[in-house]
Amino acid sequence: MPDDTRRIADRYDLLEPLSHGGMGDVWRGFDAVLDRPVAVKLVRPQAVTSPQLAEEFEKRFRREARVTARIQHPGVPQVYDAVLDESYDQLFLVMELVDGVPLTAYVHPGELLPVSWAVAVAAQVATVLSHAHEVPVVHRDLKPSNILVARDGTVKVLDFGIAAILRTDVTKLTATGSPIGTYQYMAPEQVRGARVTPSTDLYALGCVLHELLCGRPVFAGDSEFQLMTQHISAAPTPLRQLRAEVPAELEELVLDLLRKAPEARPVDVQAVYERLRPFLPSPTDDAEDTEDARLPGEAGPVGAPDPTGVFRRPYAPRSRAGAVGARATAAGTGPDAAGAAAPMLPPAQREELREQIREVYEHCAALWDEDRFSQAAEVVGEMIETAALVLGSESKAVLALRRRRAFSRQLAGDHRAALPEFEALADAYARVAGPHHEATLDCRAQAARCNGELGRATEALAGLRGVLDSVRSIDGDVSENAVELRRDIGMLLLAQGRAAEAFNVLDPLHEDLCLVFGPDHDLTAEVAETLAVIRLDLDGDASSSPT
């Protein structure tokens, strides 16, 4: 672990800040025990002036977290842990790390979002709220900065339960006694400090949908007091006065959500979803087929994810491995970047880069020793980007780093991510070192093993046999690589139920192992045990006995 990395609870490493907010800062972190990335939110409760109040705060968190954990929906990032620091000054909330962009990044008065885009976001939020309100859990602080759009278009609602944890009606932990929430999205009853219900979230959803459709908040007072007054007594401007192409039914829905009295709003979030449905694409719509027919401005922000996709293609499978490889190429680490010339560095800077790479290898080795392979892949990946810009994506040092990242992913069990990396590395090594170079063959073999782990037996066998042919031509039949490849081929055949073919591979392998390593060698014994099991299977099926 680098010297400047902060660790809390002897488990969570704080790696870099992600965002800043009124309730605290969010850091990208890593769970050293479960070897996974996490988000760590540093909550700063006001007026926690004694260990007794801090302990009460922590107890409240655990109560609320248990309730929040009952919201079983992919749009709700899970809260994993709460850690109170020794000074009783900060509570660290450890949560699922979401790769997404907050809605605030897409709201601009001069660049209005497509109506379908805004409605799709609101519909996904409504779906999340329906699961929460069933528990029941009221969000209390729904706003664009708490809503992320993930890369695949899935909407994530953050900070469920956080506002409830900080509420003021139990132990008065806030310094001012002010209600929890953000004034631009706060329902009238919330401003007054009255009882908060699911209808309070509906008002906030109306504020969010209004802003998505017209690019500006419902109210824009110069002070918190003016905003509070507007929410209590001012009438919102109808959407069609701000944007003429908004459908009348959608304008009416937003006005109903923004009713001052909770009982005047829609009866529940399911009713809101039903009124959004007519403006959502159906599963029969295809984005490519309908794009030319869209109204001007319906294409969405450039480079932004498409939240309508989950309605066009519900429960679609994840992207194929080729898409991962394409992203690697775009990042400058794929074969398309091979011809980029690396700039010449002064000796001092080149030595500094070598030292940084050496430190990364040491850090990676330490993480491997602790079986923290996913984090090792991240650590190496950060160095790859820097080194590739300076040395070139297919320099010896960068290829070695990419290989270490691929092995880290493989050891972490992420074979889907490791496969395209090994394939790209095999191609790169073949270009710079030759098709029969040890590194080329090893990357081809590892790619084949990843295919095997992913259930692609045909591709795996073809890959392993191709590598074995090359290894045999160079090092013979009983080299370390050849022996491992023969064993892997036999075991893969056996896993497919092709016992006779597996026997024909493993039986001569066992004879070679006895001659070269002896009958007591671990690998010899392993193959012998496998052959014994195969013989039992074959004795029960004479038709499949080896010839």
> Residue 432 pLDDT > 70, yes or no?
yes
Q: Rounded to the nearest 5 degrees, what angle is found at the Cα of 337, between the Cα atoms of 334 and 340?
A: 155
- Reported as a single tens digit per residue, the pLDDT across 274-297 is 999 999 988 766 544 444 334 434
Helices (H) and strands (E) in the chain, counts: 21, 9
pLDDT of residue 196: 86
Does residue 430 sit in the same domain as residue 403? yes
b/e burial code for range 1-32 (CB count within 10 A of at least 16 → b)? beeeeeebeebbbbbeeeeeeebbbbbbbbbb
* Cα 411 to Cα 257: distance, rounded to the nearest angstrom: 50
What is the pLDDT at residue 368? 93
Does the residue 531 lie in any domain? no
Same domain as 359, residue 293: no
pLDDT value at residue 182: 76
| CATH number, residue 150 | 1.10.510.10
pLDDT above 90: residue 45: no
* Within a domain: 235: yes
Q: What is the mean pLDDT of the chain?
A: 82
User: Of 295, 312, 329, which residue is a domain's last?
Assistant: 312
Domain boundary among 282, 312, 342: 312
Question: Is residue 107's pLDDT more than 80?
Answer: yes
Q: Are residues 105 and 215 in the same domain?
A: yes
Task: Write the DSSP assignment of 455-488 as a string of letters.
Answer: T-HHHHHHHHHHHHHHHHHHH-SSSHHHHHHHHH
Residue 478 lies in a domain: no
Report the pLDDT value the prediction gives residue 262, as an integer from 0 to 100: 93
> Is there a domain that residue 472 lies in?
no
Same-domain pairing of 62 and 24:
yes
Are 25 and 44 in contact by the 8 Å Cβ rule? The answer is no
Does residue 282 form part of some domain? yes
pLDDT of residue 331: 31
CB burial readout 234-262, b (16+ within 10 A) else e: eebeebbebeeebeeebbebbbbbbbeeb
Residue 283 CB coordination number (10 Å): 12
Same-domain check for residues 192 and 115: yes
Domain, as residue range, for 32:
6-96
CA distance 440 to 540: 42
Catalytic residue among 13, 31, 35, 141: 141
83 in the same domain as 20: yes
Domain closes at, from 410, 435, 460: 435
Give a yes or no: residue 470 inside a domain: no
Assigned token pair, 69: 């954990």
User: Does one domain contain both 278 and 299?
Assistant: yes
When pLDDT is cut at 50, 70 and 90, the band that residue 12 belongs to is very high
For residue 195, what is the enclosing H or E element?
A: none
Tokens (6 digits) for 239: 């959407």
- Active-site residue, 507 included: no
Q: Give the SS3 label for residue 31.
A: strand
> pTM for the complete prediction?
0.63
- On whether the CB atoms of residues 84 and 144 are closer than 8 A, the answer is no
**Do residues 446 and 460 lie in contact, with contact meaning Cβ atoms separated by under 8 Å?**
no
Number of structural domains found in the chain = 3
* Burial class, 160, CB count within 10 angstroms (exposed 0-12 / middle 13-18 / buried 19+): buried
What is the distance between the alpha carbons of residues 383 and 372, in angstroms, rounded to a whole number?
17
Residue 518's identity, in one-letter code, is G
Judge if 166 and 41 occupy the same domain. no
User: Any idea which of 92-101, 200-209, 444-453, 481-490 has the lowest mean pLDDT?
Assistant: 92-101
Give the number of other CB atoms < 10 A from CB of residue 381.
18
Domain for residue 524, yes or no?
no
- Decide: 113 and 212 in contact? Cβ < 8 Å: yes
**249 and 125 within one domain:** yes
CATH code, domain carrying 35: 3.30.200.20
If DSSP codes are grouped into helix, strand and coil, which group holds residue 142?
A: coil
The rounded distance, in Å, linking the Cα atoms of 59 and 528 is: 57
Model confidence at 214: pLDDT above 60: yes
Burial class (CB in 10 A: 0-12, 13-18, 19+), 56: middle
| 158-176 tens-digit pLDDT | 888 665 565 433 333 333 3
What is the per-residue DSSP string for 326-363? HHHHHTT-SGGGTTPPPPP--HHHHHHHHHHHHHHHHH
Instruction: Give φ, ψ of 25 to 5 degrees.
Output: -95, 150
pLDDT at 339: 39
Give residue-wise pLDDT tens across range 474-498.
888 888 889 999 999 999 898 878 8
Verify that 326 and 424 share a domain, yes or no: yes
Residues 30 and 160 in one domain: no
Pairing between strand 91-96 and 36-43?
A: antiparallel
Residue 35 lies in a domain: yes
d(CA 292, CA 543): 61
Q: Inform me whether the pLDDT recorded for 326 exceeds 50.
A: no
Same domain, 253 and 201: yes
